[in-house]
Amino acid sequence: MKSTRSLSLTPLRYYLSPRYLNPNEWKGLPADQIYELHDQRKIALGKSYNPNDDERFAILSTVEALKKDAASPLEYVYGIDNFKERLMTDTPSKLRGLPAKRSNIFVKDIGATAVERRRIDQLTRISAYEMPLLAKFRQPYQPTESSKSPLKITYHTDFSDKSTNNNNRKVILTCQLADLGLNQAQQHKFKVLAGNKFNFTTDTFKLKSEQFPEASQNVRWLVDTVNKLVNESKDLKDDFADVPLDVRHMRFGNKSPKAEFPEAWKKPEDAPVARHKIVSRLVDGVKNKKDEEYVKEFSA
- Residue 1 within a domain: no
- Structure confidence by residue, pLDDT tens digits, 115-136: 778 888 899 999 999 898 888 8
- Tell me 5's DSSP state: -
| pLDDT of res. 77 | 45
CA atoms within 13 A on the CB side of 171: 20
| pLDDT of res. 5 | 42
Cα(64)–Cα(8) distance, rounded to whole angstroms? 36
- Residue 296 within a domain: no
- Residue 71 within a domain: yes
Helix or strand run (H / E) with residue 153: strand 152-155
Query: Where do runs of H (alpha helix) occur along the chain?
Result: 12-16, 31-45, 53-60, 62-68, 74-89, 110-125, 166-169, 184-194, 215-234, 278-299
- Residue 137 within a domain: no
Residue where a domain stops, chosen among 251, 273, 288: 251
**Got the DSSP string for 180-196?**
G---HHHHHHHHHHHGG
- Residue 165 within a domain: yes
| pLDDT of res. 173 | 95
Q: How many domains does the chain have?
A: 2
Q: Would the pLDDT of 196 be above 50? A: yes
User: Average model confidence (pLDDT) for the chain?
Assistant: 76
- Residue 210 within a domain: yes
Domain limits at 209?
149-251
- Structure confidence by residue, pLDDT tens digits, 58-101: 877 776 665 555 444 444 444 554 454 444 555 566 665 555 55
Buried b (16+ CB within 10 A) or exposed e, 240-270: beeeeeeeeeeeeeeeeeeeeeeeeeeeeee
Q: Which residue has the higher pLDDT, 249 or 146?
A: 249
| pLDDT of res. 14 | 44
Question: Which of these, 172, 157, 263, lies nearest to 222 by C-alpha position?
Answer: 172
Q: Lowest mean pLDDT: which of 66-80, 136-150, 241-255?
A: 66-80
CATH of the domain at 243: 3.30.160.20
- Structure confidence by residue, pLDDT tens digits, 257-267: 778 888 888 88
**Mean pLDDT, to the nearest integer, of 198-208?**
92
Q: Which residue has the higher pLDDT, 285 or 297?
A: 285
Contact call for residues 175 and 152 (beta carbons, < 8 A): yes
| pLDDT of res. 101 | 52
Residue where a domain stops, chosen among 67, 92, 117: 92
- Residue 232 within a domain: yes
Residue where a domain stops, chosen among 52, 69, 92: 92
Cα(284)–Cα(279) distance, rounded to whole angstroms? 9
Contact call for residues 171 and 222 (beta carbons, < 8 A): yes
- Residue 114 within a domain: no
Q: Which residue has the higher pLDDT, 158 or 169?
A: 169
Shared-domain flag, residues 153 and 246 = yes
State how beta strands 204-209 and 171-176 pair. antiparallel
Q: Which residue has the higher pLDDT, 276 or 129?
A: 129
pTM, two decimals, is 0.42
